[in-house]
Structure 1
Amino acid sequence: MTAPQSEKVDGPGEFRAPARRPSAWHGQGPIVAVVAVGGAVGATARYGASLIWHTQTGAFPWTTFWVNVIGCAVIGVFMVVISDVWAAHRLVRPFFGTGVLGGFTTFSTYAVDIQKLVDEGSPRTGLAYLAVTLVAALVAVWLAVTAARRVLAWRRR
């Protein structure tokens, strides 16, 4: 393998070194870092919620349900704010949207909770949890986006 050759430019004797690729830190590095920090914040908040409002075995997982519904509502408001109101720094969305809210909401735990309910002999509760969480999360996003847009329209008058 040979070393990269310089490119010939305009006239005789004028050469330019090949362009260097930007380092990962200048490209995706800051985004990965803020997502990681935000994810740690969000996951810590979710864990704190699970310690405060513990769910009994075989019972409807109310803590995970409310964490997901609240997180979906906050994501709805956040997206309206950064899309319609605020020209946010390029790292705000990855930090708060992907990191904090992604770490706070927990649809993987939702899936595990459903499986546990079915395995523990509560399939009806598992199916109810499956349906109610999905509907509530979607309704929460829709209501939050609608409310945020109405508040913005009202404030702009």
Structure 2
Amino acid sequence: MRYAPGSSRPRPEARPELARGEGAGVLYLLAALGGALGALARWGVGTALPHSPGGWPWATLLVNLTGCLLFGVLIALLAARSPEPPWARPFLAVGVLGGYTTCSAFAVEAVGLAEAGHPVPAVGYVLVSVVGGVLAVAAGALAVRAVRSR
């Protein structure tokens, strides 16, 4: 059993038999559809917040931090629900949020900042992204528990 961050309540393990058995095709389609929606949302944020080479990559930082926050909310909600809907992780976690957040763009942008002669902002970007992401996941999970405990 795995636990949601900050939770003492175990959640059921992912059910790999669903990915191989009856209805597996639907789950794969849901993951793909969710991924497309998440990627479109990320593209929209990137278009709204463009950055120049050597500039601070606000769009990627925003999608990674908000994506982490939403991951925290999602895992706390799923941990509180038993059984969890079989479509939730493939569509929401793997699909929508997996398509929305982006570690590869984050890494490329950090290297780009360093190569553009901005090593201090590059290190700052890495620290803010990683620490901020961890804090955002925790904040999302804590927010759900606070609301649910009322």
Query: TM-score, structure 2 length as denominator?
Result: 0.81
- 1:128 corresponding residue in structure 2: 124
Task: Identify which of structures 1 and 2 has the higher relative contact order when contacts are C-alpha pairs closer than 8 Å and 6+ apart.
Answer: 2
- 2:86 corresponding residue in structure 1: 90
- 1:29 corresponding residue in structure 2: 25
| Alignment-mate amino acid for residue 99 of structure 1 | G
**Structure 1 unaligned spans of 5+:** 1-23
- 2:114 corresponding residue in structure 1: 118
Deviation at 1:86, TM superposition (A): 6.6
Q: Supply the distance in 1 between the matched residues of 2:120 and 2:95 (Cα, whole angstroms).
A: 33
**Structure 2 unaligned spans of 5+:** 1-19
Q: Supply the distance in 1 between the matched residues of 2:82 and 2:120 (Cα, whole angstroms).
A: 44
Which of 68, 71, 93 is equivalent to 1:72?
Answer: 68
Measured against aligned partners, the alpha-carbon deviations of 1:73-94 in whole angstroms (never above 9, x if no partner) come to: 0111111112214744201211
Deviates more, 1:50-59 or 1:80-89: 80-89
**What RMSD, in angstroms, separates the aligned Cα atoms of the two structures?**
1.6
Q: Supply the distance in 1 between the matched residues of 2:73 and 2:82 (Cα, whole angstroms).
A: 12
Flag the 1:92–1:145 CA change in 2: closer, same or farther, 3 A. Answer: same
Determine whether 1:146 maps to 2:139.
no
SS of the counterpart of 2:149? helix
- 2:45 corresponding residue in structure 1: 49
Identity %: 34
**Correspondence 1:4-19 to 2 at 5 A:** none
- Greater Cα radius of gyration, structure 1 or 2: 1
Q: Supply the distance in 1 between the matched residues of 2:134 and 2:89 (Cα, whole angstroms).
A: 20
